[in-house]
Each structure stands twice: as C-alpha cells, then as structure tokens.
Amino acid sequence: MNLNQITSPTLLVDKKKCVNNIRLMTEKAKKQHVIFRPHFKTHQSRTIGHWFKKMGVNKITVSSVQMASYFANDDWKDITIAFPANIREIDLLNELAEEVQLNITIENTEAVDYLNKKLLFEVGFFIKIDTGYGRTGITFDIFRTIDNILNHADQSDKLKFKGFLTHAGHTYQAKNANEVLDIHKDSMHKLALLRNQYIEKYPDLIISIGDTPSNSIANDFPGIDEIRPGNFVFYDLMQLHIGSCTFDQVAAVMACPVVAKHPQRKEIIIHGGAVHFSKDFITINDQKVYGKLIQLDKKGWQDIEEPNYLVKLSQEHGTLKVSEEILDKIMIGDLVAIVPVHSCLTANLMKEYISVHDELIDHLSGKIK
Amino acid sequence: MNLNQITSPTLLVDKKKCVNNIRLMTEKAKKQHVIFRPHFKTHQSRTIGHWFKKMGVNKITVSSVQMASYFANDDWKDITIAFPANIREIDLLNELAEEVQLNITIENTEAVDYLNKKLLFEVGFFIKIDTGYGRTGITFDIFRTIDNILNHADQSDKLKFKGFLTHAGHTYQAKNANEVLDIHKDSMHKLALLRNQYIEKYPDLIISIGDTPSNSIANDFPGIDEIRPGNFVFYDLMQLHIGSCTFDQVAAVMACPVVAKHPQRKEIIIHGGAVHFSKDFITINDQKVYGKLIQLDKKGWQDIEEPNYLVKLSQEHGTLKVSEEILDKIMIGDLVAIVPVHSCLTANLMKEYISVHDELIDHLSGKIK
C-alpha cells in the first residue's frame, strides 16, 4: 500500500479479509441449509458484489430502490428490497420488476391495494415481521393483520407471497455473544409459531432473518430458510464490541492525517470528522466512542491492544484521546488508522474505497446522488 | 412546488428565506464594521455561493482543501481554510495558492516548518486560538507558543501572518440566547487580551470569529474584525433550540415518504434515515431528537406547533413519534416535511437540493467523491 499517496481521509479495504468473511458466511449458510441472500447496503459496491458472485451467491438484499437499480444494472437478477414498500416509487419498482426477480417488503394493506392497481409485472413480497426490535413490521402473533394483508394481496395476480422477513436489530444493543444468542433463540421461537400457522396453506413459504450479530454468532438456525446479513462483509467496532467478530475479520478501516496535537489534554486531532465517520457511536465507560486507533502499515493494519479512542467528532475534525506513549510517537502529518464504529455509514459517506493493494473500489454513493 | 415528483428523501431549500438570512448577516457585518467571510461548509453549493456574491460577498471560508478547490474553480478569489493545515495536502495547497488569495490555519511549528520548505506561493495564515471550546487551537494566553509559531513563520517569505482565528463552538451547547451571549462576551474578552499583546507589532492583524449562535444573536462585536458564520444560511433544529433563529428563518428541510404506521406505538415510519439526516441529535426531555415534523405545502412549509419528533434513525428508516391527531391525518404514501437537527451534515449526505420552485441546486458532495 502506497501510504504516501494518501493525503486526506480514506477508507481502506483489505480484500483478503473481506473475501474470507464472505467465504465463512457462505459456508455457514450451506452447512445450515439456508439460502444466503447477503445485504449489500453495507458495501454498496459492484466490485465487492463480484467477490460474492465468485463465491456462488446469486440472490441479494438491498435497502432502497435506488440500490436495487445499481445492482440490477450490474446483472444481479434476484433482488429483495428489505424496506417497507415506498409506493411513491411505483415507476421505479415497475422498471425493476420488468428486468429482475424483484421481492419487496409489505406491512400494510394500503401498500398492497396501491400495488395491486399499479404494478405491471409480477413481484414477490415478504411480510415484515417484528420479533421484538420494535422498528417496523407486524408483531409475529397478530395473525389477523397478516391474514388481512394476504387476503388483499390475493386480489391481484401481480403480488406473489414469498414468506416472512424479520430483522432482529435489537441484537445490536447486546453486550456480548450470549445476549445475542438469547435474542436469536427468542426470535426463532416466535418465527416457528408463525411458520406453524401458515405452512399448511403456503408450503413454500420462506422465513428470512437478517442481523449480522445473530448470523455471525449462532450455529443453529432451525426453521429458518434464508439469512440476509450485511455488515459482516467488513464488520466494525460495534460488532467487535458485541462479539460478532475478531479483530482479524475487520476488513475496512479509515486512514486519516494528523493535523494537531494537544499534549496537555493527551489529544490528537485528525482530519476525519462526522462527514467521514458518521456520528454513530458506542458508549464505553460512559464515554462516547466513534472509532479505535490501530496501527497502519504498508501491508494493512494491526491492532493496538491498549484502547485509544476517537472521542469527539465535528464536521471535519476528529479528536483521539491517547496514551502518553502514543502521543509521543504520532507526529503532525502522520497517517493513522481507525476502526470505525459503523462501517455501513462510514462507507456511505466515503463514497469509495482504496484496497490495501491500491485499487480503487466503487460505492453507489460516489456514482449517483 | 411539484410534490408529486418527489418520490424519495429530498432536501428542499426555500431560496427566499435563504437569501433573507444572507442579507441579514451581510447587513449586520456592515453595521458592525466587520469583514463578512461566510463559511461555505454548510451549503457547499456554487449556486448558493452566487446568492452571496450578489449581496457583495467576495471572501469565503471553507473547511477542507477539496472544498476550497470547488469554489476556487467557480471564481472565488479569497479563501480561508479554517481547519488546521494538513501538510500531506501540500501539492493541492500549492495549486490553490497559485490561483487565489489563500489563507490557512496554523497551530503548531511542525506545520510551519514543513510549509516554509514546501510552499511555492505566498499564503496567509491565521493562528488558531482556543477561547474555551477545547477542540483545536492554542489557548488564548499562551503567548510563548504563539511567539514560537510567529518566529518560525518569519524564517520564510511564503507564510504571511494575518491574525488570530477562533471558533467558539461551545455556544452549540448553550441552552438559550443568554448563555450564547455569555460565551460570546467571554470569548471577546480573551481575544481583546490577545489583540493588546500583538497589535503593536502587527497593526493589521485580524481577529476572526466563527460560530453561528454568537454571530446570529450578538449585536456587539468590539475588537472583532471578521465573522465567519456558516450554518445561518439554512439554520436547523439545533439552532432553533439554542435560540439563534426563528422558525421563519429555517431555509432547508427534508421531504420524506411515509412507508409504515404503527398506531399502537403512535409511530410513523418514513424513508429517511442516518444516510439522509446524519445521526447528529439533540436531547429534548431525555429523548434523542433527530428532527421535527412540520407541515409541507405547495409553496414550502409551515410550523406545526405541537412537537412531533423524529426519535429513531437506522440506515434508511426514520421513526416519528406523533400525536393521535397527526397519526390519523398522515397516510401511507404521503410526503412529510422534517426540520433536520444539523443542516450541514444533512446537506452533505443529500448531495443536492431542490428549491421550492423545483430547481436543482448543486452540492460539492454530489459532484466529486
């Protein structure tokens, strides 16, 4: 890696680690006999998409119609938009549905009725189920609402019921792997009730789950037909903190120039702020943390065991709180490496990646608005 | 405004309100006999830059070398980069310095020594001063460090001392206008000491201050030569909350489609998440708030007095907590308007604007990576 060429905040990707993450999840899906439909909202990259394709992946998940188009135009033919159908985008949905096997997510009859009238092509739909996260979806045991949606959908030949989809996003609040497993078990138990209720009428129904912590940590997926993890492609400090991955699996880190030092406060100021990292944070010992300082080298990066955290961000500035030793070692003009808290949001802001072999890697947000 | 054409999250700008904000600040600067060097990091738009130019503004502030280039290429000739000099970008600095009157910000001798060796053209520099914010800069009364920088800079004919620059960013933590004024007074008192110390040797030195709350609220700038507010061009929910502006001055709001309703929780789910708003928040009654619901209409927007806040954000989803009345009124597929917490970060993520007269307005982040 030519570190001298890096003059401003840059998102680095280690392809080897990234491909290893993809391989591990692909193998787990095979072993568990579940469909692997990775979520591409984390990387949003056609190049990285090809790494999945080489591993035999041919079904993907995205979080917006725009993202679906980006990948449909790169020859992905089976795409699920795991976001409540936005009926204002009906024209784009029709364009997509003409080209690919498109699946959407439904959680209300208003959307069904509208789509019944306006869809020109066949579209698969998953009913979004809430197993405890409390963001979107129908609570897993409110069968009346589910039946209502199914009945409305039956009135058209365009919407085809595929199954139930959930995102147990509350695993992101877990403090350790055991808490993740508890949520995972609870979620699977609820989905089993749902399957029992509908499997007779819909013998081909698919139960699809999504969160990276469960998909990374669990080794037991009874009653699950499909997994849709996304973040695992890079992982990040949040996932390290939860226990979803090891440091060696972290495949994307920020490289940032050092612009100031404040020895009395033991602070180092980097070019790298909210417009690079995002303002997502985790809390460690009552301290907001936006990233962790690690060691950059020509081949990539290595961990620094002692915790030196990115503790403040403004638009362009980042403040690292560091040990005496690090303070002495790091000089104005140096480049430092930082594991971001949330790789999805960091990648979305950075708009492109540089591999540790100096290749430019695309990101949707650098291509179109 | 053709609301039917808006199908996905969109950042709206009311040009009339925006130009009025620019006019008010231009007039205040004139009345106070201070140079008006607005910070363009909020809007990052050439189009909006032209609105300033029409008002007679010809000096600007930016927060990165990239942003300086974007505006230099649109014929801005006098640019201050209010961010500690990043010496890794020396080539870009030299390119800029050849074309425009470039000013940079310095707070350590390492940067001075490097620039002394590498600068090919004359560059003005401000010494960054800390009057209490505690992010960057030399504490206002550590004259030894300031003298040291001035002595190092004297060893080259390229770096020309312009004055002292501060950003009293702690006004953003203020709970009301009086707290802002207290910080402003304290900051000016400290800068007066600095001026007294150096005015004899540097009779032309410029004292430059920057934060939008002080610049908006204060009507007294003794000893100040230049103001660099940025956020005032749009304002946002944070500024409303601090008391820097009235609702009628908020010139940029988000329009987002409604995709789901959860009546039991009194929640409405919009397409509009962390990749649109940013995860910056303010805290109101112990609740994280990312934005406030207002009323959208064909001419623009109006306030809704009762507080209905955007209380959760994930990558693409936003959760509005609303009253019974709003819950009944807003339908799936509707477009709602939301005042974002931090307009600078929202604009950076959105990459472009639509005016309330349906014109497309550029943003740097939509132009280049």
Q: Which of A187, A252, A237 is nearest to A215 (CA)?
A: A187
Angle at B292 between CA B289 and CA B297, to 5 degrees: 165
- A113 within some domain: yes
User: Which of A:125-184 have CB within 8 Å of B?
Assistant: 134-136, 169
Across A66-92, average pLDDT: 97
pLDDT tens figures, B238-259: 999 999 999 999 999 999 999 9
Residues of chain B with Cβ-Cβ distance to A335 below 8 Å are: 88
Contact flag B319-A366 (C-beta cutoff 8 Å): no
- Cβ <8 Å between A6 and B135: no
Share of residues in chain A with pLDDT > 90 (%):
95
Tokens for B257? 């489609």
Contact residues on chain A for B344, CB-CB shorter than 8 A: 315
Instruction: Report the residue from A262, A271, A366 with minimal CB separation from B369.
Output: A366
Range of the domain at B319: 3-11+246-367
Q: Would you call B279 an interface residue with chain A, using a CB distance cutoff of 8 Å? A: yes
- Contact across the interface for B41 and A169, Cβ inside 8 Å: no
Give contacts of A 240-269 with B, CB under 8 A: 257, 259-262, 265, 269
Query: What CATH code is carried by the domain that includes residue A138?
Result: 3.20.20.10
Last residue in a domain, options B199, B234, B269: B234
| B286: CATH | 2.40.37.20
Tell me the pTM.
0.97
Do B155 and B286 lie in one domain? The reply is no
Establish if B275 touches chain A: CB-CB under 8 angstroms. yes
pLDDT in tens, A93-152: 999 999 999 999 999 999 999 999 999 999 999 999 999 998 899 999 999 999 999 999
pLDDT at B183 over 90: yes
Q: Does the pLDDT of residue A369 top 70, yes or no?
A: no
Of B177, B61, B157, B59, residue with least CA distance to B116: B157
The residue of chain B with its CA nearest to that of A290 is B279
**pLDDT above 70 coverage of chain B, percent:** 99
Number of domains in chain B: 2
> Which residue in A has a C-alpha nearest to residue B267's C-alpha?
A135
- With beta carbons under 8 A apart, name residues in chain A contacting B80: none
* Candidate from B7, B134, B169 with C-beta closest to A88: B7
With CB atoms and an 8 Å threshold, state whether A345 touches B275: yes
The reply to whether A218 and A189 lie within a common domain is yes
Q: How far is A358 from chain B (nearest CA, A)?
A: 17
Residue of B nearest to A138 (CA): B262
Average pLDDT, rounded, for chain B:
96
At B103-147, the pLDDT tens digits run 999 999 999 999 999 999 999 999 999 999 988 999 999 999 999
- Does the distance separating the beta carbons of B89 and A269 come in below 8 Å? no
Do residues B291 and B175 both lie within one domain?
no
Query: Is residue B301 in a domain?
Result: yes
For testing contact with chain B, the best of A61, A280, A314, A342 (most B CBs within 10 A): A314
**Inter-chain residue contact B41 with A315, CB threshold 8 Å:** yes
**Residue B257 CB neighbour total at 10 angstroms:** 23
Among the candidates B206, B234, B262, a domain finishes at: B234
Residue B369: pLDDT over 60 = no
Interface check A314 vs B, CB under 8 A:
yes
The strand pairing partners of B129, in sequence order, are B138, B166
Rounded Cα distance between B31 and B301, Å, is 31
- Same domain, residue pair B201 and B295: no
User: What dihedral angle (degrees, nearest 10) is formed by the CA atoms of A310, A314, A317, A320?
Assistant: -20
Smallest CA–CA distance, residue A31 to chain B, in Å, is: 30
What pLDDT, on the 0 to 100 scale, is given for residue A368? 60
Give SS3 for A313: strand
In a domain, B334, yes or no: yes
Q: Do A332 and B110 touch (CB under 8 A)?
A: yes
B241 in any annotated domain: no
- Rounded Cα distance between B308 and B320, Å, is 7
Question: Please, what's the b/e burial string for B76-85 (b: 16 or more CB within 10 A of its CB; e: otherwise)?
Answer: beebbbbbbb
Residue A240 lies in a domain: no
A272 and A221 housed in the same domain: no
Residue B239 amino acid letter? Q
**DSSP characters over B295-355:** EEETTEEE--SS--EEEEE-SSEEEEE--HHHHHH--TT-EEEEEES-HHHHHHHH-EEEE
- Domain-located, residue B240: no
| B267, B199: one domain | no
CA distance A303 to A311: 18
Joined together, the tokens standing for residue A131 give 């197993």
Measure in Å the smallest separation between the Cα of B194 and chain A Cα atoms: 20
Residue B368 has pLDDT above 90, yes or no: no
Nearest-CA neighbor of A40 among A365, A281, A368, A337? A365
A182 and A227 in a single domain? The answer is yes
- Of A209, A235, A261, which marks where a domain is finished? A235
Q: Do B88 and A335 touch (CB under 8 A)?
A: yes
A288 touches chain B (CB under 8 A): no
Q: Hey, are the CB atoms on A275 and B136 less than 8 Å from each other?
A: no
Instruction: Provide mean pLDDT across the span A164-183.
Output: 92
Angle at A100 between CA A96 and CA A105, to 5 degrees: 70
Beta strands A317-321 and A309-313, pairing class: antiparallel
Of B215, B223, B217, which Cα lies nearest the Cα of B190? B223
Name the residue among B114, B135, B261 with its Cβ closest to that of A108: B261
Whether residue A208 lies inside any domain: the answer is: yes
Verify whether the Cβ–Cβ distance B317 to A8 is below 8 Å: no
Q: Nearest Cβ partner of B316 from A63, A88, A260?
A: A63
> Does B300 lie in the same domain as B207?
no
- Partner-chain contact A108 B333, CB within 8 Å: no
Q: What's the average model confidence in pLDDT over B22-37?
A: 98
What part of A 24-43 touches B (C-beta under 8 Å)?
A: 41
* Non-local CB neighbours of B121 within 8 Å, separated by 6+ positions: B94, B97, B98, B102, B158
Dihedral in degrees, nearest 10, Cα atoms B307, B308, B314, B316: -120
pLDDT in tens, B191-243: 999 999 999 999 999 999 999 999 999 999 999 999 999 999 999 999 999 99
Interface of A with B in 54-113 (CB under 8 A): 63-66, 83-89, 91-92, 107-108, 110-111
Q: What is the mean pLDDT of residues A77-95?
A: 98
pLDDT reported for residue B220 = 93
Q: Specify whether the CB–CB gap between A156 and A116 falls below 8 A.
A: yes
Q: Are A259 and B84 in contact (CB < 8 Å)?
A: yes
pLDDT tens string B313-341: 999 999 999 999 999 999 999 999 999 99
Whether residue B250 sits in one domain with residue B352: yes
Closest Cα in chain A, distance from residue B280 (Å): 6
Residues A219 and A83 in one domain: yes
**pLDDT at residue A298, as a whole number:** 86
ipTM: 0.96
Distance between A232 CA and the closest CA of chain B, angstroms? 16
B 204-233 near A (Cβ less than 8 A): none
- Say whether pLDDT at A220 is over 70: yes
Q: Is A241 within a domain? A: no
| Mean of pLDDT values over A194-204 | 97
Q: How many CB pairs under 8 A join A and B?
A: 160
Q: Are residues A214 and A69 in the same domain?
A: yes
> Given a cut of 90, is residue B298 above it in pLDDT?
no
Whether residues A186 and A305 share a domain: the answer is no
Contact A260 B366 (CB under 8 A): no
For residue range B256-291, list pLDDT tens digits in order: 999 999 999 999 999 999 999 999 999 999 999 999
Cβ–Cβ < 8 Å for A106, A149? yes
